[in-house]
Amino acid sequence: MDIYFRTKKLQKICSEEKEMQKQLGTKCAEKLRQRLMELKAADALSDMSHLPPTRFHELSGNRTGQFSIDLEHPYRLLLIPANEPIRVHDDGGIDRKRVTEIEVIEIVDTH
């Protein structure tokens, strides 16, 4: 899967080991590296498991259209589909099988 980043700062955190460690700490940086490798290896968003340990899931409310992946508690990696147009099911949910490009928008505690 192709991965883009919302900001240059976020891209730096996700691609430079020193910055990753500095901003997130050792354990969270390790999880971030693992999650990014899983996303790169996936053909589509549907390949990501919703089961632990990733707990990959679509968010709702003011974060509708965003997806969350667990890092080190309480941090989550938030992303959105970057394919144009975004394909949806009849029920309004995003068709994960057709999402082959994503944009990482934030690393945050969503609670």
| Domain ranges, residue 90 | 2-108
Contact 106, 96 (CB under 8 A): no
Tens digits of residue pLDDT in 24-33: 999 999 999 9
pTM exceeds 0.85 for this model: yes
Q: Which CATH number goes with the domain that contains 96?
A: 3.30.2310.20
Please give the structure tokens belonging to residue 89: 């099911």
Q: What is the number of structural domains in the chain?
A: 1
Please give the structure tokens belonging to residue 6: 């919302």
CA 57 to CA 4: how far, in whole Å? 19
CA 77 to CA 32: how far, in whole Å? 8
Tens digits of residue pLDDT in 54-79: 889 999 899 999 999 999 989 999 99
